[in-house]
């Protein structure tokens, strides 16, 4: 079997999954939102992070939800989540200074019975539950899977002098999104192996890659944009209203 082709015939890929836990990351600084906390901004009448959590609430695969929130607003975030019907909420915990530290804080709250953990950006509220389920199914089969979309642009690798060094074939490039889901034991193993090096990664799949693990791409079907700037919030609301109009949400 080729080096770039993982062996998916092993029985471990088909073992019964006891429990799936989801971590919603909603503790970021919203530094590019002009003073607006994007997690508390609304899509329709629902706070952004709550809409993200509700998409996992609706998944029959997800058993529990843990939200990483700003340390000084834990009670507020928990009250909002519960008032909007996030019944699978296990806890709201204080996020860390980095993405990885927030995930580590949340992992301490994950049930010992959880076989799969999924990590999702709270600022991606438009993810479809159907796409969530497809990512989780791939994680069950392949150990590691992430939501991703084909890159619409040609990717250039640029050197320190500002000149192009390489053009990457577009058919091989994807934009990494969330959720990203992994076998819990495998993820914890990689975190331990990398130590402080894990703090510098920008997504969880990079942790697995640095440990030499194969990560499956799950190409999603719906809109899964990330709210980063004020114009993103306006666009997300437009997409939401369009979906609502055609009864897709």
Residue 6 lies in a domain: no
Task: Determine contact, residues 122/52, Cβ cutoff 8 Å.
Answer: yes
We report the CATH number of the domain holding residue 121 as: 3.90.550.10
Residue 166 lies in a domain: no
Residue 195 lies in a domain: yes
- Parallel, antiparallel or unpaired: strands 144-150 and 174-183: antiparallel
Span 200-246, pLDDT tens digits: 898 999 999 999 999 999 999 989 999 999 999 999 999 998 876 65
- Tell me how far apart the alpha carbons of residues 62 and 56 are, in angstroms, rounded to a whole number: 6
Q: Which of 112, 135, 114 shows the shortest CA–CA distance to 181?
A: 135
Span 93-133, pLDDT tens digits: 999 999 999 999 999 999 999 999 999 999 999 999 999 99
Residue 171 lies in a domain: no
Angle, nearest 10°, between helix axes 74-83 and 48-57? Answer: 50
Residue 83 lies in a domain: yes
Residue 238 lies in a domain: yes
Residue 167 lies in a domain: no
User: Could you tell me the pTM of the whole model?
Assistant: 0.90
C-alpha triplet 4, 208, 91: angle, nearest 5°: 145
Supply the range of the domain harboring residue 23.
Answer: 15-146+177-245
Span 49-84, pLDDT tens digits: 999 999 999 999 999 999 999 999 999 999 999 999
From first CA to last CA, the distance across the chain in angstroms is 43
- Tell me how far apart the alpha carbons of residues 186 and 3 are, in angstroms, rounded to a whole number: 20
Residue 1 lies in a domain: no
Domain count, the chain: 1
């Amino acid at each position: 079997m080729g080096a770039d082709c993982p062996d998916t015939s092993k029985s471990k890929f088909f073992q019964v999954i006891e429990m799936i836990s989801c971590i919603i990351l909603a503790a970021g600084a919203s530094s590019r939102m002009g003073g607006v906390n994007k997690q508390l901004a609304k899509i329709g009448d629902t706070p952004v992070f709550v809409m993200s959590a509700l998409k996992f609430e609706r998944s029959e695969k997800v058993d529990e939800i843990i939200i990483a929130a700003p340390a000084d607003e834990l009670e507020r975030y928990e009250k909002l989540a519960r008032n909007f019907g996030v019944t699978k909420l296990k806890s709201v915990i204080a996020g860390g200074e980095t993405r990885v530290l927030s995930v580590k804080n949340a992992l301490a709250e994950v049930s010992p019975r959880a076989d799969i953990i999924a990590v999702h950006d709270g600022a991606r509220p438009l993810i479809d539950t159907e796409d969530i389920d497809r990512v989780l199914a791939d994680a069950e089969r392949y150990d590691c899977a992430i939501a991703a979309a084909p890159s619409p642009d040609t990717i250039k690798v640029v050197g320190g002098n500002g000149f192009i060094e390489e053009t990457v074939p577009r058919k091989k490039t994807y934009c990494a999104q969330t959720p990203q889901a992994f076998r819990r034991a495998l993820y914890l193993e990689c975190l331990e192996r990398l130590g402080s090096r894990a703090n510098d990664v920008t997504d969880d799949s990079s942790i697995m890659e640095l440990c030499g693990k194969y990560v499956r791409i799950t190409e999603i079907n719906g809109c899964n944009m990330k709210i980063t700037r004020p114009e993103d919030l306006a666009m997300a609301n437009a997409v939401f209203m369009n979906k609502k109009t055609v009864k897709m949400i």
